Amino acid sequence: MYKIGTAKVDITYFKENAGLLGYIVPHNIAKGVASPIYARSLVLEDTEENIIALVVVELAFCTSKLRQEILKALEEELPTIFTATNVLISAQHTHSTIGGYSQFFMHNILIPGYDAEACQTYTQGIAKSIITAYHHRKTGVLKLGEAFFAPNSEVAFNRSIKSYNQNPECKEKITSREAAHALDLRMQQLEAYGTNQQLVAAFNWFGCHPTSLSNKNTLISSDNKGYAARLLENELNPKQNEKQEEVVTGFLQNAAGDVTPNFIWESKSKVKKRFKNDFEKMEFNGQLQFEKALAILQQASENKSSIKGDIDSAIAYVDMGNVTVDTKYTVDQTGNPRTASPCIGIACLQGTKEGPVMSKPLGAFARFLNLNVRLWDPLFVKAMTKEELKHFYDSQYPKSSTIDAGAGRIMGTQNISRFFMPSFIDPVIRNLKKIHKQGFMQHKPWLPQVVTIQLLKIGQLCLAALPSEITTIAAQRLKSTIIEELRETAIEDVIICSISNNYAGYVTTYEEYQVQAYEGGHTLYGKWTLAAYQTMFAKLCQEFRKPKIQRNRVGCDAIPVLAEALLWKGTMK
């Protein structure tokens, strides 16, 4: 038996013309609100008073700044109860909510800038959901159910088939017509029941981007996963039965890095025949996810696993720009592989079919420039030694490194205010030059380098949280690593909780990285990024197997967070 508490709190924040976070294009701004935005919390406590909080927020991602503020609010209200170790904040990754709550200006570039009001609104709402759930704890039981989507269900598709096919796991190559087969079709659902057998919560995991709404959208929305959650809660909370405790449902992410809901691209005329608009397309996808979650709930109890056992948690702060990788996770299993400081490649800046950013001709021109930068760098670079520069390029290869967020350079340029491209070409360039002139670029790296990884044990279930969008095969490998490390424990199943606690781009396999599609271009720490996560999760698991008092720290002390006075605050047009 566990003590179980739930809560759902509205965290909607609207400011007209503020940038929506996700697509990073200037026209993707807020003009209205299509649906409220929620934080949903599930607090669990075992008989030994070990406690955890699992939170799903309808935002693009959590940030180190936001997480720090939430933990401060929890400490003020409930001292010593909730800590960085036992609170997991997972984003369902909608691209249609207002940003500005990160300490990194690269996240805030088109919001524009840090928005203290947005950060405060999200902080207060998320903290309130955890606190309310804590105070609503009641005795209950937990079950874990699952079901599979059929490949012809049209719920999700692999958007990066060429990269996917490079993996040795793909014995038979997948065609673009079979894109629905190239993903994890399983939905897993953690269900909480009161002593009267009444359902109180259902939190599920299925990897699929909430990008049914395109970058043309200007309305705040929780997209397909939020729509699915609303449908399920409406189904489970009939208005006529007001005495029944409200059921809270959460739709979380698993391996969504290369998975899209969009099987008919907007550029094709068929879209007009199938869906009238993006919102109809979003409702179609959300309906499918809702139906699968409801089907799991309706399964016979004996077909589900009863969760029994203690609750535990562990956390590590990892400098992902400087991880010496265990060679058993690398391709050739030799040498001294090491990650590099965060860097964005041209492939990322060009975007995807569902969210294009840079044109192909401009991308080709940028690649040509980057090739020359790499030739000139050893002669003129001052940000790094020649040895450091060689390691950076070797680790990031074959990425066409464009934004070197670790050293603070764009196409080799450190004096960004004098970057050769004129400001009128793009608002991103205009804002970058403005930020440099105002002195806010001196705080490096420009993107996260120290990130959070976390393990939550709930009986025989383990939740493994990382801050990145992980691809289908990369998630399989990471899950296998964690299961192997925990094989002598009571853990029977591991669920990957992606886009949790912070945000650190993508994670591809080594083979996928070589293709340098969008996902590879946004794999910040180079070709060994997945191997680095495997290395650090293995170390955390090794400590997790020990009694709490015997565990050693893994990684760094903490994530450095800048004071608000040091954050760039842009101005609205």
Close Cβ partners of 239 (under 8 Å, ≥ 6 residues apart): none
- Structure tokens belonging to residue 175: 């065609």
> In the predicted model, what is the mean pLDDT of residues 282-306?
96
User: What pLDDT does residue 412 have?
Assistant: 77
Close Cβ partners of 456 (under 8 Å, ≥ 6 residues apart): 52, 54, 86, 88, 311, 312, 313, 462, 463, 465
Close Cβ partners of 348 (under 8 Å, ≥ 6 residues apart): 505, 518, 521, 522
This prediction's pTM: 0.94
| DSSP conformational letter for 121 | H
H or E segment at 223? helix 223-236
DSSP per residue, 272-336:
HHH-SSHHHHHHHHHHHHHHHHHHHHTS-GGGSEEE-S-EEEEEEEEETTSPBPPGGGSSS--S-
User: What pLDDT does residue 325 have?
Assistant: 97
Cα→Cα distances 7→113, 129, 201, 358, Å: 31, 5, 9, 41
Q: Three-state SS for 412?
A: coil
What band does 334 get if pLDDT is binned at 50, 70 and 90? Answer: confident
Q: What's the pLDDT tens digit per position in 21-30?
A: 999 899 999 9
**Nearest alpha-carbon partner for 170 in 411, 420, 565, 473:** 473
> In the predicted model, what is the mean pLDDT of residues 204-223?
97
DSSP per residue, 487-554:
TTSS--EEEEE-SBSS---EE--HHHHHH--HHHHT-TT-TTHHHHHHHHHHHHHHHHTS-GGGPPP-
**Scanning the structure block, which residue is given the tokens 């089907």?**
295
Cα→Cα distances 344→94, 151, 258, 446, 516, Å: 21, 33, 17, 11, 11
Q: What's the pLDDT tens digit per position in 19-52?
A: 999 998 999 999 999 999 999 999 999 999 999 9
Peptide bond connecting 36 to the previous residue in cis, omega within 30 degrees of 0: no
From CA 201, how far away is CA 190, in angstroms rounded?
Answer: 8
Q: What's the pLDDT tens digit per position in 508-519?
A: 999 999 999 999
Cα→Cα distances 491→402, 455, 483, Å: 42, 12, 8
The yes-or-no verdict on residue 317 having pLDDT over 70 is yes
CA angle 177, 178, 182 (to 5 degrees): 140
Hey, where are the domains in the chain?
2-316+449-550
Please state, as a whole number, how many other Cβ atoms lie within 10 Å of the Cβ of residue 453: 25
Residue type, 199: L
Secondary structure of 151-195 as H, E, C letters = HHHCCCEECCHHHHCCCCCCCCCCCHHHHHHCCCCEEEEEEEEEC
> In the predicted model, what is the mean pLDDT of residues 313-326?
97
What band does 571 get if pLDDT is binned at 50, 70 and 90? Answer: confident
Query: How much is the mean pLDDT over the chain?
Result: 91
The yes-or-no verdict on residue 173 having pLDDT over 80 is yes
From CA 316, how far away is CA 274, in angstroms rounded?
Answer: 46
User: What pLDDT does residue 373 have?
Assistant: 60
Residue type, 260: T
What band does 109 get if pLDDT is binned at 50, 70 and 90? Answer: very high
> In the predicted model, what is the mean pLDDT of residues 140-169?
96
How many separate helices (H) and strands (E) can be counted in the chain?
14, 24
From CA 508, how far away is CA 399, in angstroms rounded?
Answer: 13
The yes-or-no verdict on residue 115 having pLDDT over 70 is yes
Whether residue 44 contacts residue 458, with contact meaning beta carbons closer than 8 Å, is answered with yes
The yes-or-no verdict on residue 270 having pLDDT over 60 is no
Q: What's the pLDDT tens digit per position in 352-407?
A: 766 655 655 555 656 556 655 655 565 556 566 778 888 998 999 999 888 999 98
User: What pLDDT does residue 41 have?
Assistant: 98
Cα→Cα distances 222→23, 58, 279, 310, Å: 15, 6, 11, 33
**Scanning the structure block, which residue is given the tokens 């990322």?**
348
From CA 106, how far away is CA 467, in angstroms rounded?
Answer: 16
User: What pLDDT does residue 360 have?
Assistant: 59
> In the predicted model, what is the mean pLDDT of residues 110-119?
96
> In the predicted model, what is the mean pLDDT of residues 559-566?
92
